[in-house]
Structures are given as structure tokens and as C-alpha cells.
A and B are shown apart, each in its own frame.
Chain A
Amino acid sequence: MTAPVTTTQTPTPGPVGEPFEPLILGFTCNWCSYRAADLAGTARTKYPHNVRLIRLMCSGRMEPEFILEGFAKGADAVIMTGCWPEDCHYRIQSVKALRRFLFLRRTLSDLGIEPARLQRFYASAAEGQRFADEIARIVAEVRALGPIQPEIRVALDGHPVAPAPAAEPVEVEA
């Protein structure tokens, strides 16, 4: 039995007084999670717009550099999605992806980046609803985290991606 849960989608105010909308880079495998995203689409299941997907053949294809490139170029979080370990198209590669994920989370925290900015979930080709739910959950979580620290972005890329003046804290009248 599960208790009924209400989800609230009220955006938390960001540092500049505007609602903060995170930008999230999502990696999917070709066989399960990309098809889950397809199924979410065919079933017209709604989820937040904040995520942008890249298809890999397997979530085990994930290179550390992809994550760092993502953070450098403006992503606030990166998601590695894939097959359930027992359903992996490449037999056991989903487990290898998990191992790499755990290692990368540790590395991120060594770099001073919140580990929650790297997320992983499984979705089979039949789990469009789950895909949407997980995206909504992660967007809410990252929204609460706020944007990635600008220094980190500078450090990763050499220069801030969007040097727009609005990115600087603006005095807002209380």
C-alpha cells in the first residue's frame, strides 16, 4: 500500500527573484530509456520541458567528459538513464554504467559539485509514465538545488557560457 501523495509544482524563487528553471542534459540508451521517452510521447504523458536528451547506444557509453562538457556549457544537472540491469540489451552493460555513475558522483563531489547534479534512473521501453515521473522528480530536485556555481562553470570551460548581465545577482527591492 502506498500513501496518496500530492505533487506540487510551485517553482522555488531563484537567487535573482525569478523562478529558477534548471537546464538538464539527459542521456538515454537506444533500447530502453529512449523508447520509454518515445512511449511517454506517444501516450502524451506530460513532463517538465527542462530536459534535453541525447541518445547513446548504451548508458555504458557515458564518458566523464560528456558530463563536464554539459556543466561547462550550461547544464545544471546531467541524467544517465538506461535499461533495468536485468533487462539490459547488452546483457550487463547497464551495471557497468551504474558503477561508472557511482564513481562519477564521488568525483563530482571531490570537484565541489553537488553529487545530486548527476542522476541515474532506469526505465524500460514500457515505462513511459515512469520516465516522465522521474524527470519531474529530478527537475524539482535540481530546482531546489539552484543553478550550478558560476565559478565551477568558469573552471570547467575557461569562461562563463552565458555572460549575460542578468546572470549576476541583481538587487531586488524587498
Chain B
Amino acid sequence: MIPADSRLEACIQCGTCGGSCPSYADMDHTPRQIFALIRAGARDKVMDSNTPWMCVSCYLCAVRCPQQIHIPDVMYALKAKATQERRVPSHVAPDFSKTFVDYIHKYGRSFEVGLVAKHYLRHYVTRLPGMTTSGIGMVTKGRMGFRPHQIRGVAGLNAILDRASEIEQAKQRGLFEERPQSGGTH
């Protein structure tokens, strides 16, 4: 789940990942370049890159990678690291994640109307007019509920997530600190 476990060392810089990536156009570095930067210890460049945030988790790179590197997992780990350090290249993608996750904390489920509305109000106000026909269609056709559903166990869920945070902090391992040079067991 963290890059040190993702076989990142095995990367041969072939570019299959970048070539396969559907959201490549928006990335400031290709995934391959990110791996090279991590290996070069270029921490700032990696942390300031928007690449992980543009990953759509389609797993094309993962099944094509000739070295079977867990690329989406690396991207997740980089995002989590950036979130933790509050260091994000642009706020659009992280905000979307945060809005999404906030709904989960509050209700235990996601809530599409609120999510899309909130997100678009904040970041794409100008696009909203073009979408109202679709949006109204969604609502009146019963495709978007107006009220989110709250699960009964929401308190328990939050307790679980809080505990997970504590464990994660206790186990925190660095991205850029020395990684094992070989499979040594001593």
C-alpha cells in the first residue's frame, strides 16, 4: 500500500503506463517520470506534481506493466501523503476527494446531488448553466435523491476510521527515506 511495497524498484522506464493512461493529457509528469523522480529522491517535484490526482484508477497500466508494478497503489499512496502534508498542486481534485469523503463520515454513504452540486458550485460555476437541463432531468426522474441516507452504524464507522488513522500514523513510513537495497533478512 505504500510505494516501498509496490515493486517500484523494478521499473524499467518503458513508458507503457504513460502511453496507456487515459488522463495522461492533464498530468504534468507521466507516471514513469514520477517513478524516476521518486528514485532520484526529488521529493519536491513529486509532491508538487498533479499526476497522482489525475489517476482515474482504470488499471490499464497495472495489467500492462511488464514489471507488474502496482501503479494505482503508488498513486493512492502519493495522494494520501500529499493530503497528510496538506501539500497539493491544485485544489480541484483534492477538494472533490474531500467533499466525497466528508459525506461518508457524516452519513456512511455518498450523496451524489450534494457532491456534484457542491463541487461544481465551487470549481465550475461557469459550466453549471450548460448542465441544468441534465441536472433537472436527473432530479425529477428520481435519479438523484434530495436527502442523503444515513446508516445506523455511522458512529461505529467513524470509530473504526479514527482507529485506522491512529494505526496508520504509528506505522508511517517515509516515501523518500532509504528503502531496502535488497531482500535482506538480517
Contacts and interface: CB of A to CB of B under 8 A. Distances in A.
Q: Do chains A and B touch in the complex (CB under 8 A)?
A: yes
B17 to A, nearest CB: 15
A1 B68 contact: yes
A4 B73 CA distance: 9
B7 A132 contact: no
Nearest to B171: A6
Interface in A106-144: 129, 132-133, 136
Contacts of B73: 4
A95 to B, nearest CB: 30
Interface in B18-56: none
A136 B5 contact: no
- The range of chain B's interface size is 10 to 19
Interface string B68-104: 1010010000000000000000000000000000000
Contacts, number: 33
Interface stretch (A17-25, A41-49, A52-60, A164-172): A41-49
A155 interface: no
A1 B70 contact: yes
Contact of B5 (A4, A46, A132, A133): A4
Contact of A45 (B6, B62, B70, B183): B183
Contacts of A7: 185
A133 B185 CA distance: 10
A162 interface: no
B11 to A, nearest CB: 14
Nearest to B77: A4
A149 B2 CA distance: 41
A47 B1 contact: no
A129 B2 CA distance: 23
Contacts of A44: 182
Interface of B: 1-2, 5-7, 62-63, 68, 70, 73, 182-186
18 contacts: A1-B62, A1-B63, A1-B68, A1-B70, A4-B1, A4-B2, A4-B5, A4-B6, A4-B7, A4-B70, A4-B73, A5-B5, A44-B182, A45-B183, A46-B184, A46-B186, A133-B183, A136-B185
Interface of A: 1-7, 9, 44-48, 129, 132-133, 136
10 closest Cβ pairs, A-B complex:
A4-B5, A46-B184, A9-B185, A4-B6, A136-B185, A6-B5, A48-B185, A46-B185, A4-B70, A47-B185
